[in-house]
């Protein structure tokens, strides 16, 4: 019986060590590499062709989200399990969209990691039980409005504290245009003033 080959990517040595220890306690797992960033990860995938890559989401330079995307493209047979802290849950939807097969929290214990690996290896989707709860919150998070590029641009400038006329000057468009974008933002976020807008935008990590 072949062991499942696993590669772990995280920029925190501590987490890397912890994963190593935990994974070494699982009999059917073989660690084929530990990467500190996406570059190392890609190299190690090439060299060792693991079955599963467990990757942190927030990493400097290339994020886990982008890494997942790369892996999907270049090594579609490799499964990806995303890993994050509790307060980064908002990335779940984006991660799954990008082709992640599983999602665990860094607070996961050995049992859960084991289960995640088995589930994913079977071709199924694994979601940490801690993430499944709270449908309401889940919905809210995934309910990030789809903004056009121009709207995002305007939103950022609004968050910086610029007024419509100032933004118009920066973007070389009419203040009326900026006002339209602003109104659309208010509608899309379903709020009725700037305060609510910025709060939600911040919540969704857009500012």
Residues lying near DNA in the complex (CB under 7 A) are found at 146, 148-151, 158, 163-165, 168, 171, 173-174, 176-177, 179-183, 186, 192-195
Q: How far apart are CA 187 and CA 168, in angstroms?
A: 20
Distance of CA 193 to the CA centre of its chain: 29
Residues 126 to 165: which contact a copy of itself by CB under 8 A?
Answer: 158-163
**Shortest distance, position 167 Cβ to DNA, whole Å:** 8
In this structure, what token pair is assigned to residue 149? 């590029």
Min CB(69)–DNA separation in Å: 19
- Comparison of 124 and 183: residue with beta carbon closer to DNA: 183
Partner whose footprint covers residue 198, from DNA, a copy of itself, none (CB < 5 to 8 Å by kind)? a copy of itself
H or E segment to which residue 198 belongs: helix 194-203
By CB under 8 A, name the one of 87, 135, 136, 149 that touches a copy of itself: 87
CA separation for the pair 113, 23 (Å, rounded): 8
CA-CA distances (angstroms) from residue 149 to 96, 133, 152, 153, 185?
A: 22, 32, 5, 6, 12
Angstrom distance (rounded) from CA 52 to CA 119: 11
Comparing CB distances to DNA, the nearer of 14 and 146 is 146
Q: What's the min distance (Å) between Cβ of 12 and a copy of itself?
A: 5
N-terminal to C-terminal alpha carbon distance within the chain: 49
Choose between 83 and 95: whose C-beta lies nearer to a copy of itself: 83
In contact, 80 and 53? CB cutoff 8 Å: yes
Which residues in this chain contact a copy of itself in the complex, by CB under 8 A? 11-22, 58, 85, 87, 105-110, 158-163, 191-199, 202, 207
């Amino acid at each position: 019986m072949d062991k499942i080959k696993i590669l772990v990517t995280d920029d925190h040595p501590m987490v890397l060590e912890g994963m190593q220890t935990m994974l070494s306690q699982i009999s059917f797992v073989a660690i084929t590499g530990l990467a500190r960033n996406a570059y190392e990860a890609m190299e190690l995938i090439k060299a060792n062709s693991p079955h599963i890559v467990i990757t942190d989401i927030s990493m400097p330079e290339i994020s886990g989200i982008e890494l997942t995307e790369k892996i999907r493209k270049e090594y579609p047979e490799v499964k990806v399990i995303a890993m994050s802290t509790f307060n980064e849950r908002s990335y779940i939807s984006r991660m799954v969209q990008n082709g992640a097969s599983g999602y665990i929290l860094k607070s996961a214990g050995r049992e859960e990691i084991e289960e995640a690996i088995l589930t994913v290896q079977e071709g199924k989707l694994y979601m940490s039980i801690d993430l499944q709860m709270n449908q309401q919150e889940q919905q809210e998070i995934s309910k990030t409005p789809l903004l056009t590029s121009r709207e995002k641009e305007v939103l950022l400038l609004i968050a910086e504290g610029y007024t419509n006329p100032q933004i118009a000057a920066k973007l070389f468009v009419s203040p009326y245009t900026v006002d339209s974008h602003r109104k659309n933002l208010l509608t899309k976020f379903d709020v009725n003033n700037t305060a609510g807008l910025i709060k939600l935008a911040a919540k969704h990590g857009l500012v």
